Chain A
């Protein structure tokens, strides 16, 4: 990516794109969904993309990628990586049908969500990936509301339920881990799914100098867990001694309304989830063949 994209200061999503392309090299075609990245990186007649890039609509980047890949294969090109790329709104919610279709068909593409936990481009509306308790413009905190009522939709696990050979979560706070996973995914044939946590200073209301710190804290508190599911084998790629979730929450305006009892609910959920991940890892269940 060329410098000079028009993202906000401290944008996590543009870092995700940069880290992604550093890992893939130039032999890629990126199919991008409508959202912050598309709007800020391609203002006609300029572009920040030094690789072939196509944007069509909000909810179809996965099926556009399917078409691109099919054309390359028909032309005898079996080396170029085709990436479907989009925000959580585009991939987890409105475009999930296309993502699910490509996963089910096992189309030979990499499907990557950069997750800033809201529809950031249009003003921080809640998405299926917005965490429980976060205030978003369509689930605002108020006298009778503690923000979003539902837990974050677990797309990586839904992806592996399709039988995908490689599924991983990553964070812009841990670039080496992220790039290692991208490189690994590139070695796999078929539909691969990666979910990159990418904090958004505007949407989450934290100072733009703290993006990386917030990203790291998400992992260190267990609000975002790093793992990969390689051919069905679940493995955490980072197992920190978890810090209290409060350390993550208190940095962000979107959580500032949370009462101690709500934070406690979140903490308990993290603890339970972390324990289940332990179990999952230890029991060695193969998540592809269990299906």
Chain B
């Protein structure tokens, strides 16, 4: 945000830069600005996202195409500033599309796609990148040219609804049970329908910019073994190193967590002997991680053939090392279905 502020201050960014007093107001002003017909951006993390919680549901419920980057970080208490996924996982049912990226290049590319997705299906998108691991790293990045981006993502022109004095409309009215129910169902249909849009935009981006991240939903990496690790985000880089060195494990990376890629995961995981779900969040009281629970749910008709292991790793920024992943893969052979491993050195 500080860099964007500097771009704006130097006149390089033709935009209004708002300096609001809280993340709650940041998201609130985004809602106002997008409803008034402008394209918007903000970024947040951890407690900031938690403070936005109430506005997140209003944004999706009002079907407004806000785009935001979340630098994933742990939630208090105890207070901790490092990376994990507890912040965005807590918002997984907020009606936002959630895209998790593995590296900085993918984050840049995904952000551009996110606007196109959001504006086409009228739902907000959060691009989730690992805090510190990706936000405080130096990595060569190819920034696409303005002209190419403009061609891919033309000027935002809302034709559905906009706050306009020539054409007055009421946004966010009070709603009785019957229409409320219908509107919520419509929202879920839109999220499901967004899969076609995400897929299309993934292809279009690949054609234009020559970079592609799986099918837009998942990325399979040497997934031709009996054992597979499923994970999200930057840790997949480490897992790829493990996969490269040993011959008995593959990787499926979930890029798009909302909408949940049920069919894609069934295709890539069905019939596996061992499915290790490694994730940086926990569903307290459920006994497993949230991604684990959702994968097991998606694969329910095929669960008899597979053993599912829930690996909780990296909470509060604990390092996840090659040696530990190797260890889990080794031990998984003796583990029972449904076992939970809290992985830490």
In the complex, A104 has a CB within 8 A of chain B:
yes
Q: What mask results when residues 25 to 57 of chain A are scored 1 for a CB within 8 Å of chain B, else 0?
A: 011110100000011001111010111111111
Interface hub of B33, B169, B179 (most chain A Cβ within 10 A): B33
Which residues of chain A in 246-278 are interfacial with respect to chain B, using CB atoms and an 8 Å cutoff? none
CB–CB A67/B36 < 8 A: yes
A66 touches B18 (CB 8 A): yes
Whether A29 contacts B18 in the complex (CB less than 8 A), given A56-B28, A56-B31, A67-B33, comes out as no
- Taking CB atoms, residues of chain A closer than 8 Å to B29 are 63-64, 66-67, 70
A56-B32 contact, Cβ under 8 Å, with A66-B18, A75-B38, A101-B25 = yes
- B51 to chain A minimum Cβ distance, whole angstroms, is 11
Kindly identify which residue among A38, A39, A63 contacts B28, using a CB–CB cutoff of 8 Å.
A63
Inter-chain contact B36/A100, CB cutoff 8 Å: no
Contact across chains for B33 and A71 when beta carbons are under 8 A apart: yes
Cβ of B172 within 8 Å of any chain A Cβ, yes or no, is: yes
13 additional contacts (CB under 8 A) given A26-B168, A52-B163, A52-B165: A29-B163, A42-B174, A53-B171, A54-B35, A60-B24, A65-B32, A67-B30, A67-B34, A69-B32, A97-B21, A101-B20, A105-B19, A105-B20
Say if the beta carbon of A143 comes within 8 Å of chain B.
no
Number of cross-chain contacts by CB at 8 Å = 147
Alpha-carbon separation in the docked complex, A34 to B169 (Å)? 17
Taking the complex as formed, is B334 at the interface, i.e. its CB lies under 8 A from any CB of chain A? no
List residues of chain A with CB within 8 A of the CB of B197.
Answer: none
The answer to whether A56 touches B179, judged by C-beta atoms less than 8 angstroms apart, is no
Q: If A52-B168, A101-B21, A104-B21 touch, does A57 touch B38 (CB 8 Å cutoff)? A: no
Chain B residues near A38 (CB, 8 Å)? 173-174
A23 is an interface residue with CB less than 8 A from chain B: no
The winner among B18, B19, B24, B163 for most chain A CB atoms within 10 A is B163
Q: How many residues of B contact A (CB 8 A)?
A: 39
A29 vs B25: C-alpha distance when bound (angstroms): 18
CA distance A73 to B32 in the complex (A): 13
- Please name the residue on chain A nearest to B29 by beta carbon: A67
Q: B58 — which chain A residues lie within 8 A by C-beta?
A: 56-57
Minimum C-beta distance from B104 to chain A (A): 28
Q: Is the CB of B174 within 8 A of A56?
A: no
Specify which chain B residues have a CB less than 8 angstroms from the CB of A242 in the assembled complex.
none
- Within the complex, what minimum Cβ distance (angstroms) separates A277 from chain B? 31
Report if A68 contacts B (CB, 8 A): yes
Shortest CB distance A174–B (Å): 28
The closest CB in chain B to the CB of A58 belongs to B54
Query: Bound complex: CA of A65 vs CA of B62, how far in Å?
Result: 16
Q: How far is the CA of A121 from the CA of B54 in the complex (A)?
A: 19
Alpha-carbon distance A105/B174, docked complex (angstroms): 31
- B284 interface residue, CB < 8 Å from A? no
6 pairs of A and B residues whose beta carbons are closest in the complex: A67-B32, A67-B29, A101-B21, A42-B173, A63-B25, A71-B36
Cα distance, A275 to B29, chains bound together (Å): 41
List the B residue with the shortest CB-CB distance to A59: B24
Of the candidates A28, A56, A63, the one whose C-beta lies within 8 Å of that of B165 is A28
Q: Is B262 an interface residue (CB 8 A)?
A: no
B164 beta carbon closer than 8 Å to chain A = yes
Q: How far is the CB of B155 from the nearest CB of chain A, in Å?
A: 11
Q: Mark B131-163, 1 if CB is under 8 A from A, else 0.
A: 000000000000000000000000000000001
The residues of B that contact A105 with a CB separation of less than 8 Å are 19-20
Is B313 an interface position by the 8 A CB rule? no
- CB-CB under 8 A from A73, the residues of chain B are 16
Given known contacts A66-B18, A70-B29, is B35 in contact with A53 (CB within 8 Å)?
Answer: no
How close is B203's CB to chain A, nearest CB, in angstroms? 32
Q: How far is the CA of A51 from the CA of B22 in the complex (A)?
A: 29
Say whether A49 contacts B32, CB under 8 Å: no
CA gap between A262 and B174 in the complex, in Å: 40
Asked if A291 CB lies within 8 Å of chain B CBs, one says no
User: Are B20 and A57 closer than 8 Å at their CB atoms?
Assistant: no
Q: How far is the CA of A205 from the CA of B277 in the complex (A)?
A: 61
Indicate whether A19 reaches chain B with its CB closer than 8 angstroms: no
